[in-house]
Amino acid sequence: MAVRTTELVIIGAGPAGICAALEAASHGVKTTLVDRGEELGGQLIKQTHKFFGWHKKSAGTRGVLIAKKLAEEVLNNENITLLNSTEALGYYDDGTLLVETPRGIDRVLGDRLIVATGASERMLLFPGNDLPGVYGAGAVQTLMNVHGVRPGDSVLMIGSGNIGLIVSYQLLQAGVRVAAVVEAMPTIGGYAVHASKIRRLGVPIMTRHTIKEAYGKEQVEGAVIWELDENWNGIPGTEKDLEVDVVCLAIGLTPLAELLWQCGAEMAYIPELGGFVPLYDETMETTRKGVFVAGDVAGIEEASTAMAAGRMAGLSAARSLGKVSDLDYSRLRNEIAGELEGLRSGPASAKILSGIAKMRAMLQSVKEAAAVSEAEPANQPANQPADQPANRPAKQAASEPAEAGDLPKAGARDSEAQGNNGSKSEEAVGA
């Protein structure tokens, strides 16, 4: 088992992780960027459409082109070591990150960690949801836009947010029929411009409708949709049978935060941020000291905010390693905070801002409780060993590897660290 040492480890080479790496590396931090994918860019490598968002932050540029530019910057940066096709498995008390590489399990010892693992797609409960032909929208995008494979001939899209609308349009561009887009809410979730485009091509968008069931012998052969009443119950008698071979779920994303649970960061359920998220402060540091977060794993937003939050996490990690002067730190911190404020100034960001405010209030309570328990050592349970920190969560101790005591100490450098990347250069398909 190889041991690699570095100053900063970043898990996830999506827009958040890459921008964190570039920022930290610009201050001279030796950074190791780990991603289980082969290509750099996270979600961006499948986004052939022109980006929505703030014009100063890549709006109007295709996601694949943003990914390509970011990948080039990473590959040309001598302070960044890329470990692609490498999955992060667990992060332990002594700063060991276990990773699975194509050659086996390795250990990466970092002084700081940034988790930028993004999000996973939500699933929906309905009879037949385990049939082949039921996909998440991200999977459909990967099939079509990365591998050039059409998922089927005729699709029922569930969800009219921007992702559902954009993927519907991309399906139409690929020659796939979109039978309908159904939306449980009374109004369309995504931008009117995306909705109009697919409506003009004859696709009905049916609000207050959902899927009742998908059916088929060995794969999806059809789906039944029905109207919802005000209590979200299906109305008998409103069923419509659609002949489709694909049901595509675009009903939202949820933070991919398992590594943060495992390493003992405090987590909270905040629906406005997409589910369970880590509690983190303005510097993006979690309650686990030295562990920072950025991007969708900290709350579902957009690539533009993920990039700015990534920069903030990279700057904070560099600062905590003593690599940034006070003057530079406050200048850069204000600059990035201003950028984030600008990106979140529209009405669509109200939900995110209220989720962040909720999360910060919870963080404050956790800090206050920790301060009280530190001030009262007598409250420590009688059966707890004196040398174990009182606030160390049981789940963290339970998740340590059996041989944790044998793990090498941070500081023992090795020369193996090296990475490669197959950066993508294919033509973008216009949306």
Ligand X SMILES: Cc1cc2nc3c(=O)[nH]c(=O)nc-3n(C[C@H](O)[C@H](O)[C@H](O)COP(=O)(O)OP(=O)(O)OC[C@H]3O[C@@H](n4cnc5c(N)ncnc54)[C@H](O)[C@@H]3O)c2cc1C
Q: With the C-alpha atoms ordered 333, 23, 295, 345, is the resulting torsion angle positive or negative?
A: positive
**Coil vs helix vs strand at 293:** strand
Q: Based on the shown chain and the rule CB under 6 A, indicate whether residue 303 belongs to the binding site for ligand X.
A: yes
By C-alpha distance, which of 289, 260, 276 is closest to 367?
A: 289
DSSP H or E segment with residue 18: helix 15-26
Nearer to ligand X, 183 or 227 (CB): 183
From the CB of 262, what's the least distance to ligand X, in Å? 10
Phi-psi region of 58 (alpha: psi -120 to 50; beta: other; left: phi over 0): left
Which residue in 6, 32, 48, 117 binds ligand X (CB under 6 A)?
117
Query: Which phi and psi (to 5°) does residue 110 adopt?
Result: -120, 150
The four Cα atoms 142, 146, 150, 152 give a dihedral, to 10 degrees, of -10
DSSP at 143? I
Which residue in 8, 10, 13, 108 binds ligand X (CB under 6 A)?
13
Q: Based on the shown chain and the rule CB under 6 A, indicate whether residue 35 belongs to the binding site for ligand X.
A: yes
Residues in 247-286 that interact with ligand X by CB under 6 A = 256
Residues in 137-156 that interact with ligand X by CB under 6 A = 137-138, 141
* Burial class of residue 289, CB neighbours in 10 A (0-12, 13-18, 19+): exposed
Which residue in 25, 34, 134, 223 binds ligand X (CB under 6 A)?
34
Q: Based on the shown chain and the rule CB under 6 A, indicate whether residue 190 belongs to the binding site for ligand X.
A: no
Of the ranges 37-45, 206-214, 391-399, 420-428, which one interacts with ligand X (CB under 6 A)? Answer: 37-45
Residue 323 CB coordination number (10 Å): 18
Q: With the C-alpha atoms ordered 232, 235, 236, 242, is the resulting torsion angle positive or negative?
A: negative
From the CB of 135, what's the least distance to ligand X, in Å? 12
Number of residues that bind ligand X (CB under 6 A): 38
Q: Based on the shown chain and the rule CB under 6 A, indicate whether residue 95 belongs to the binding site for ligand X.
A: no
Which residue in 52, 135, 169, 292 binds ligand X (CB under 6 A)?
52
Q: Based on the shown chain and the rule CB under 6 A, indicate whether residue 339 belongs to the binding site for ligand X.
A: no
Which residue in 2, 3, 26, 36 binds ligand X (CB under 6 A)?
36
DSSP at 379? G
Q: Based on the shown chain and the rule CB under 6 A, indicate whether residue 43 belongs to the binding site for ligand X.
A: yes
Binding letters toward ligand X, positions 374-403, x by CB under 6 A: ------------------------------
Nearer to ligand X, 34 or 407 (CB): 34
Q: Tokens in use for 351?
A: 């939900």
Taking the alpha carbons at both ends of the chain, their separation in whole angstroms is 46
From the CB of 137, what's the least distance to ligand X, in Å? 6
Residue 221 CB coordination number (10 Å): 15
Contact positions vs ligand X (CB under 6 A): 11-17, 34-37, 42-44, 47, 51-53, 87-88, 116-119, 137-138, 141, 163, 166-167, 256, 295-296, 301-304, 306
